Structures are given as C-alpha cells and as structure tokens.
Amino acid sequence: MTPPWQPLRLSRETHTARVPESDREVVARQLGREPRAFRRVVARCPFGRPAVTEQEPYDTAGEPFPTTYYLTCRHLVEAVSRVEAAGGVERWSAAVELEPELRASVESATDEQRRIRRELAAGRTGVDDGASLDYGIGGSRNPPRLKCLHAHVAYALAQPGYLLGERVLAEVDPRWPARCCSE
C-alpha cells in the first residue's frame, strides 16, 4: 500500500555534495538553533521544506549524535509531542511487546539503523570508541522500550515501510498543515 504521504527520497550518494545553504538555514529556523551533526535532508513536506534530516553519527568534536533521522517539521514535531504527552511512548512500547508484527518491525529497523550508522561513520568511532553505533532508533539502548516517538516517525519518513513509525504517524491529523509551517 502506498502511504498517503510521499516524502522526497534522496540517494545516499548525495551526502558528498555540499549541503545547500538554504536547507541548513531552514533547518536552523525550524529548530531555533544551528543543527548539530547535520548531513542532509532526506524527506520533505508537501511544501518542499525539510521534514526529516539525516545526521552524522558524530559531531565535529567526535561527540555521539545517536539520532540518525531527525524530525524537523514544526507541525509534525508538535503533533508527535502531543501523542507522547498523551502516554504514547508507554502505549506504543506496550504494543511492541504484545504485537509480533510491530516487534519484528522495530527489530528490523534497529538492525538497519545500526548498519546505516556504521556506513555513515565510515570507520570513525568518536569519543565513545564506537559504542553509540550500536544504539537503536533515537539512541535507544533497549529498542523494544521506546524513548522518543519523534525519532520513530522520522525513521518512517526517511525509510518508508517502518510499521511502528507509520502507525504513530497515522495518529497525526492532519498529517501536514494547510500552510507551510517553515516560512
């Protein structure tokens, strides 16, 4: 089934090009600060603005940045925060424990997350000697016990087919705002 949202997919090879200044500026405005360990935009909203960014596993000082895919769209950040505030982390953690299909989705995505982080690190290990390269989505050390639904939604937008993230995202209504939230 094709999801109702179609994020712009970019190839991994685009990381070697200089990050367009406009994307960096938009992400800084979305976050209210300069992005840390920013590599590139991997998913965009229907208005063409960054929705999800891909981060380096380590920042320029070698400090770990365990969130590979970072949700930057203000509308989605606020909506997922409401899901979390309503007990979403606990509810979805319980669902992962009870539903084999969700658990398998988290396990598969965690394996892929670790592979991606190692690929992006390209042999670098940072100040943690590589320990954070084995973390799950959102930097989780125990992936079935969820930490941050924002990271799971970001992963689903960056890597379509991730069932847990897509189910969390299905709780967001409307999926996208009527007008761009990053202007």
Say which DSSP state 21 is in: H
- Residue 110 included in any domain: yes
**φ and ψ at 87, to 5 degrees?**
90, 20
pTM of the model: 0.86
Question: Would you say residue 182 lies in a domain?
Answer: no
Q: Is residue 132 part of a domain?
A: yes
31 part of a folded domain: yes
Q: CA-based angle 110:114:119, to the nearest 5?
A: 145
> Among 125, 136, 138, 122, which residue's Cα sits nearest to residue 62?
125
Residue 147, in any domain of the structure: yes
**54 with 42: CB under 8 angstroms?**
yes
76: in domain: yes
- C-alpha 107, offset from chain centre: 16
Total domains in the chain come to 1
User: Domain range for residue 166?
Assistant: 12-170
Report if residue 118 sits inside a domain: yes
Tens of pLDDT, residues 129-152: 999 999 999 888 888 889 899 999
Domain assignment of residue 1, yes or no: no
Tens of pLDDT, residues 76-131: 999 999 999 999 999 999 999 999 999 999 999 999 999 999 999 999 999 999 99
